[in-house]
Structure 1
Amino acid sequence: MTAQRSVLDAGRLHFNHGPIDIVAEAHGNDVEVAVAHECAWRRFETVLEELVAELPLLRQPVGDSCPLRGTIARRMWQACAPFRAGFITPMAAVAGAVAQELIACYRREGIERAWINNGGDIALHLAPGQSARIGLFADLARFDLRDRVPLTTDGQFELRAEMPVRGVATSGWRGRSFSLGIADSVTVLAATAAEADAAATVIANAVDVQDPGILRRPASQCKDDSDLGDIPVTVEVRPLAIAQVQHALAAGEARAMALQRQGLIASAMLVCQGQWRLVEPLSSSASGIFALGNSPQAAAVGSVFA
Structure 2
Amino acid sequence: MGPRRSPLAGGRLHFQHGPIDLVIGAEGEAGAVQAAHEAAWQRFAGVLAELVAELPLLRAPVGDACPLQGVVARRMWAACAPYRQGFITPMAAVAGAVAQDIAAHYARDGIARAWVNNGGDIALHLAPGRRVRVGLFADIARLQHLQAQRGLPTDARFTLAAELPVRGVATSGWRGRSFSLGIADSVTVLARDAAMADAAATVIANAVDALDARIVRRPANTLRDDTDLGARLVTVDVPPLPAALVEQALDAGLACAHRLRAAGLIWHAALACQGRWRATEGLAAQQLVQ
TM range, normalised to the smaller chain? over 0.9
Matched with 1:277 is 278
- Structure 1 partner of 2:257: 256
Aligned to 2:232: 231
1:29 equivalent in structure 2: 29
8 Å contact from structure 1 (residues 158, 289) kept in 2 = no
Partner of 2:155: 154
Counterpart mapping for 1:16-165 below 5 A: 16-141=16-141, 150=150, 151-165=152-166
With a CA cutoff of 8 Å and minimum separation of 6, indicate the structure with the bigger relative contact order.
1
Contact 2:137 2:143 in 1 (8 A): no
Q: 1:113: how far off?
A: 0.5
Q: Secondary structure at the match of 1:263?
A: coil
Q: Quote how far apart the aligned CAs of 1:288 are.
A: 1.1
Q: Is 2:288 the partner of 1:288?
A: no
Question: Structure 1, residues 51-98: CA drift from partner, whole Å, max 9, x if none?
Answer: 000001000000000000000000000000000000000000000000
Please tell me the residue identity of whatever aligns with 1:27. E
Q: Deviations over 1:74-133 (max 9, x none)?
A: 000000000000000000000000000001000000001000000000000001111001
CA contact (8 A) 1:167 1:193 kept: yes
8 Å CA contact 2:72, 2:97 repeated in 1: yes
CA distance in 1, matches of 2:231, 2:180: 13
Question: CA 1:77–1:141 in 2, change beyond 3 Å: closer, same or farther?
Answer: farther
Report the 3-state secondary structure (helix = DSSP H, G, I; strand = E; otherwise coil) of the residue aligned with 2:86: coil
Does the CA-based 8 Å contact 1:195-1:264 persist in structure 2?
A: yes
Distance, in Å, in 2 between the alignment partners of 1:280 and 1:177 is 27
State the SS of the aligned residue for 1:97: helix
Question: 2: CA distance between counterparts of 1:76 and 1:173?
Answer: 21
Q: RMSD of the TM alignment (CA)?
A: 1.4
Kept in 2: contact 1:126–1:160 (CA 8 A): yes
1:141 to partner: Cα distance:
3.9
Equivalent residues of 2:181, 2:206 under 8 A apart: yes
Query: What is aligned with 1:304?
Result: none
Question: Aligned partners of 2:30 and 2:246: how far apart in 1?
Answer: 49
Distance 2:208 2:10 in 1: 37
Are the counterparts in 2 of residues 171 and 200 from structure 1 also a CA contact under 8 Å?
Answer: yes
Corresponding position of 1:169: 170
Maintained 8 Å contact 1:159/1:165: yes
State the one-letter code of the partner of 2:178: S
**Counterpart residue number, 1:303:** none
* In 1: Cα distance, 2:199 partner to 2:153 partner: 27
CA-CA distance at 1:148 after TM superposition = 7.7
Of 150-159 and 38-47, the range deviating more from structure 2: 150-159
Whole-Å separation in 2 of the counterparts to 1:136 and 1:275:
14
* TM-score in terms of structure 2 length: 0.96
